[in-house]
Structure 1
């Protein structure tokens, strides 16, 4: 496989939680005309440190340069990049569908049973389904439910942890001290 072939990379960034960092990080991708496929930020395993997960489709030389630029940001503690096979990742989504379909159409009930979907709520006018999994699973479920009329749909960004140890904990512990 050529290093010039574009592949999906998951970028993990550990940062201080400061205003303006989102603009600076997104500018790194914007300057290179790289579309961010998904972006998520949350607390990390260390208090006061945020963890970002960004998914991009680029070449390996591009991702190496991007990581270098990200790590130059004052608020960034450390940045890594990973291939899909090096991570365990999920996305989550919610579907809002008319309630009468749930009770009247057995096909929806079969789809729910077969898709490992969780029913979040059932109201008089609608019900809400939650699905966690790979993007391909969510897209497949979307296509199955589409003929029934999806009232609303939302999907989260990727969240991911690495299979290998990042050896970030000692660095983060030192940062916290």
Structure 2
């Protein structure tokens, strides 16, 4: 019986140390697992960094990866979640020729229908910002592509769990 493959969001709480990203990514690389997206930011706990890493992997594989990640000295705790266990978003920016904004009502309709926000309008271009899940961003990309996208960039996934992680309680006990 083949094992179920899922998209997982890995949340890693760490100390903010040089070289840790390299060691964590090497764990995925050794197992030939592609990282779909990665985001690093401060967390709800002062002095603790939180990473969100998205991977497509088997159930057994994710458990092994989490075990390897938690062996890193600077890692406080690592969790993994399926998409139905989290609330997540990505953001993106589109740079498009300005004349389209003023001359083509279809662009205005696309902006409105996708809840995009105009970030800036310059003489030669304008920039749109869109937040949503991967599919929503891909729809917006497909709709804007025929008009000519000058530049496009998308962030990594950011996510919060539906259930409490209790990481703050864990850290309080750890520091006591």
The two structures share one fold, judged by TM-score above 0.5: yes
Local SS of the residue matching 1:74 = coil
Distance of 1:46 and 1:158 partners within structure 2: 20
Change (3 A) 1:176 1:157: farther
CA deviations 1:93-117 (Å, max 9, x no partner) are 0000000010001110111111100
What's the TM-score once normalised by structure 2's chain length? 0.97
Q: 2:158: which partner in 1? A: 159
Instruction: Confirm whether residue 129 of structure 1 aligns to residue 128 of structure 2.
Output: yes
CA drift at 1:170: 1.2
- When the two structures are aligned, how many residues end up with a matched partner? 176
Distance of 1:96 and 1:69 partners within structure 2: 40
Q: 1:71: which partner in 2? A: 70
Local SS of the residue matching 2:11 = strand
Q: 1:81: which partner in 2? A: 80
Local SS of the residue matching 2:33 = coil
Change (3 A) 1:65 1:3: farther
Q: State the superposition RMSD in angstroms.
A: 1.2
Mark the runs of 5 or more structure 1 residues left unpaired by the alignment. none
Mark the runs of 5 or more structure 2 residues left unpaired by the alignment. none
CA drift at 1:172: 2.5
Instruction: Confirm whether residue 104 of structure 1 aligns to residue 103 of structure 2.
Output: yes
Local SS of the residue matching 2:126 = strand
Q: 1:18: which partner in 2? A: 17
CA drift at 1:49: 0.2
Local SS of the residue matching 1:69 = helix
What's the TM-score once normalised by structure 1's chain length? 0.96
Q: 1:143: which partner in 2? A: 142
**After the TM superposition, which parts of structure 1 deviate over 4 Å for at least 4 consecutive aligned residues?**
174-177
